[in-house]
Amino acid sequence: MPIMGIDLGTTNSLIACFMNSQPTIIPNVFGENLTPSIVSVMDDGQISVGKIAKERLISHPQMTAAVFKRSMGTKKQFKLGEKVFTAEELSSFVVKKLKEDAEIFLGEKIEEAIISVPAYFNDVQRRATKLAGELAGLKVERIVNEPTAAALAYGFHEEQDYTKFLVFDLGGGTFDVSVLEKYDNIMEVRAVAGDIFLGGEDFTEILEKIFLDKTKLNFEDLSDSDKAVLKKSIETAKHSFSRSNIKITSTIQEKTYEANVLLNEYTSKCEDLLTRLRTSIKVSMNDAKISLDQIDNIILSGGATNLPIIKDFVGKLFRRIPLSSINPDEVVGVGAAVHAALKERDEAVSEIILTDVCPFTLGVESSSKQPNGIFYHDLYSPIIERNTIIPVSRVERFFTLHDNQSIISFKIFQGESRKASENSFMGELSIPIPKAPAGQEGADVRFTYNINGILEVEVTVVSSGLKKTLVIDRNPGVFTQDEIKQKLNELAAYKIHPREKEENRFLISRGERLYQESLGSTRITLGMELTNFDAVLDSQDERKIRDFAIKFKKILDDLDG
């Protein structure tokens, strides 16, 4: 029973496994490697995931959700009709769909998977991703960073020589840059940086704003359906930018709008986004203490690296051609499959030790008393610095601040701000301490952070030896095992549409989308054909359904160009 590798992406997701001595991406029912990370509730209450849901993003936007990966680990809720879901629950539908596709392809039940996450995901987001896999009915023992997976896909784990490489990973919703080093049989992550709110979607929004400015359209006045139509037009245009300009056309509220956009105009508007990319790259290089000329290879990962503006940016910045022979949309999934093979100890994969780093600084809130007697509070005292190789254990000693203090409390945070309150709160631990003058009693605080992102905090009173321990495994958005079981039962009521019906459901969703985009006689014809197709489906005559589907698909292909 193989362990699967899953790339749970913002825009698209995929599942792969290691078979016949190589990583293999498992196609969905449409024979495609990528499944859109989009979920829609159908009229009958069933759940559609992927290509069908992508069509319904335009025709039924109020029933459809996308780009929910950005909300992993938060309390944000997505209302689809009368139903409400969290980002973890929506992600679990995507994972469940991938799991079902794999089970049909392989002819056996799938029970375990390794899921990739952006290297810059914090502890809460990683646990939320693990939860999504568990809610889909999978055992998820391991989370792999997307850049590490990309490096595995290119076989850098099999390189014999001392090698340093950088992974530039820009997906639909997140950006990671990682510096890795391979020596002997060890692949070590030297540093990671990034931005979980920067991705291809942001470059789409810039182009959308330019289009709206040129056409004088007011986005807020548009219906949800018209907004979805506009977004699709912009997304298509973004990927077809020539060296100089592009023409964007979109039909909104039965009127066709057009705008020409120059490449240098678009690049200028994207400068703030490009600056954010540069900043993350600079941080990772500085943290790794590596200069650009020491990097042997650069790997492109993530679908947004296919954008002309990004290719130009990377080429000029690094002054070399990066590796992109493996489809950037698929490289993380391929690498996750290799990681699964390493976990299974597949003989076709070279034995290697993978090291990782702590992506954020971990520390406690502290206070200090100045010589003039003024107290400064809300200070952040790091214990484990970001980009420290894990597993790691570090200890720091803290002393009482007041006379006759009987309790010393430690609030635990994750982040980079010098103010504790501006970082992410993770938990709190208090311990009794003997009364004494200020500064005479102290406690040692030990942080131990392991490869699975679990933080153990141990506080020991210096004078008495009294110890208390807190394991940070209960964060906002993360459930207990009992809560997971309860959620599994709740989500079981939501049935994903049967695989064998997906192709016909897709034709209907595609037809409905084109109906909304069309006008006049074309719209009338489409309406009649959709009604006829519904009638044929109701007949349950497989031959009639197959014949009509072929005819209907040709009509849609002709209209959709």
> Which pLDDT tens digit goes with each residue over 144-196?
888 889 988 887 656 556 788 899 999 888 898 999 888 777 778 888 888 88
Provide the pLDDT for residue 241: 73
Residues 392-416 have pLDDT tens digits of 999 999 999 999 999 999 999 998 9
pLDDT reading at 39 higher than 50: yes
pLDDT reading at 293 higher than 90: no
Going by pLDDT thresholds of 50, 70 and 90, the confidence category of residue 497 is low
Going by pLDDT thresholds of 50, 70 and 90, the confidence category of residue 424 is confident
Structure tokens at 126: 């990683």
Give the list of residues 6+ apart from residue 353 with CB closer than 8 angstroms, or none.
Answer: 185, 186, 187
Side chain identity at residue 469, one-letter code: T
Residues 273-288 have pLDDT tens digits of 999 999 999 999 999 9
Provide the pLDDT for residue 475: 45
Mean pLDDT of the chain: 87
The answer to whether 272 touches 233, Cβ cutoff 8 Å, is no
Closest CA to 414 of 459, 475, 355, 458: 475
pLDDT reading at 348 higher than 60: no
Q: What percent of the chain has pLDDT over 70?
A: 93
Residues 78-92 have pLDDT tens digits of 999 889 999 999 999
The answer to whether 83 touches 537, Cβ cutoff 8 Å, is no
As a whole number, mean pLDDT of residues 102-116 equals 94
What are the φ/ψ torsions at residue 149 (nearest 5 degrees)? Answer: -60, -40
Residue with tokens 């973004």: 238
Provide the pLDDT for residue 496: 63
Question: Which SS3 state, helix, strand or coil, does residue 136 take?
Answer: coil
Provide the pLDDT for residue 477: 43
Provide the pLDDT for residue 549: 87
Question: Which SS3 state, helix, strand or coil, does residue 371 take?
Answer: coil
Distance CA(330)–CA(301), nearest Å, equals 8
What does the buried/exposed string (b/e) look like for 291-301 if buried means 16 or more CB atoms within 10 Å of the residue's CB? eeeebebbbbb
As a whole number, mean pLDDT of residues 60-66 equals 93
Residues 302-347 have pLDDT tens digits of 989 988 889 889 988 988 888 888 999 999 999 999 988 888 775 5
pLDDT reading at 515 higher than 90: no
Distance CA(299)–CA(75), nearest Å, equals 34
Top pLDDT among 150 and 242 is at 150
